């Protein structure tokens, strides 16, 4: 089985976020970038298929040369090969079209992407990718099994409102994975041997295809700062009710 894991290069959640050029661009100065957490769950599950069933695992991302350290980390974790599509990931549709071309050329059986990236939280790419490829799709996936003797048969578990849903489907398949696809304790930190081996693995750079850009960022803004806390004496119930009703508007 041949697996492609789609990786997003996202800011670490501890990074301080700022914007530049009149709040029209994200300021990357001083920002530490990491593998998108939802993608990391998918990569870990792909490594399980590699170790237990002999699958081949490739990773891919859309980005300029600055994203290569993130791809190298994925190689150090155990991926066999990395692909960087040499373009700025302008929006979800553009990214999905680029990844679809990689999937077609690589003839992958299983594509695992995070259900969304933690920077823009668009949640669009996996579904668009499945549509462009015209293959089966399972989103918000928290469980994935593929029968060893019949690799086209898949059992997937997805999170739904109020519970879980178990699905039977077949390869080829696109999965939008998330926390729960593997346990957090199973996530891997590259060791020295993995880092050394990653230097010898292929990191292929491909040029983007002509693609539609469906959206354009016009402006960014940070959430408004929280207001000061107002303390109300315990015997002033009417004042508290008035504040909750007219100011906080929660009752």
Q: Which residues contact 169 (CB under 8 A, 6 or more apart)?
A: 136, 138, 154, 156
**pLDDT of res. 17:** 87
Separation between Cα atoms, residue 119 and residue 57, nearest integer Å: 25
Q: Taking the alpha carbons of 44, 203, 51, 131 in that order, is the dihedral positive or negative?
A: positive
pLDDT in tens, 38-58: 999 999 999 999 999 999 999
CATH number, domain 2-222: 3.40.50.620
Cα 52 versus chain centre, distance: 24
**pLDDT of res. 110:** 97
User: So where are the chain's domains?
Assistant: 2-222
**pLDDT of res. 151:** 65
- Judged by phi (left if over 0) then psi (alpha if -120 to 50, else beta), residue 171 lies in beta
**What pTM was estimated for this model as a whole?**
0.87
Closest CA to 113 of 36, 201, 10: 36
Query: What is the three-state SS of 169-215?
Result: EECCEEEEECCCCCCHHHCCCCCHHHHHHHCCCEEEEECCCCCCCCC
**pLDDT of res. 97:** 97
For the chain (251 residues), the mean pLDDT of every run of 10, in chain order, is: 96 89 89 94 96 95 96 96 96 96 97 93 94 97 87 90 94 96 91 90 96 88 84 89 87 85
């Amino acid at each position: 089985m041949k697996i492609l894991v789609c990786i997003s290069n996202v800011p670490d959640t501890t990074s301080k976020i700022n914007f530049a050029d009149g709040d029209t661009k994200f300021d990357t100065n001083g920002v530490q970038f990491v593998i998108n957490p939802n993608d990391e769950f998918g990569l870990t599950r792909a490594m399980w298929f590699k170790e237990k069933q002999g699958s081949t695992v490739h990773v891919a991302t859309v980005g300029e040369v600055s994203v290569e350290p993130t791809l190298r980390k994925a190689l150090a974790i155990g991926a066999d090969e990395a692909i960087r599509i040499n373009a700025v990931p302008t929006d979800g549709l553009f990214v999905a079209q680029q990844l679809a071309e990689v999937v077609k050329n690589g003839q992958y059986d299983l594509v695992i992407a995070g259900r969304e990236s933690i920077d823009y939280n668009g949640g669009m790419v996996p579904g668009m990718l499945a549509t462009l490829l015209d293959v089966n799709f399972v989103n918000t996936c928290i469980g994935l099994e593929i029968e060893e003797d019949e690799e086209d048969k898949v059992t997937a578990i997805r999170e739904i409102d109020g519970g879980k849903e178990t699905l039977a489907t077949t390869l080829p398949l696109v999965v939008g994975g998330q926390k729960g696809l593997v346990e957090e304790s199973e996530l891997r930190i590259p060791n020295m041997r993995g880092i050394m081996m990653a230097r010898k693995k292929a990191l292929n750079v491909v040029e983007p295809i002509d693609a539609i850009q469906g959206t354009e960022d016009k402006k960014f803004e940070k959430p408004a700062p929280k207001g000061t806390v107002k303390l109300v004496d315990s015997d002033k119930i009417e004042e508290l009710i008035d504040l909750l009703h007219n100011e906080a508007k929660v009752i």
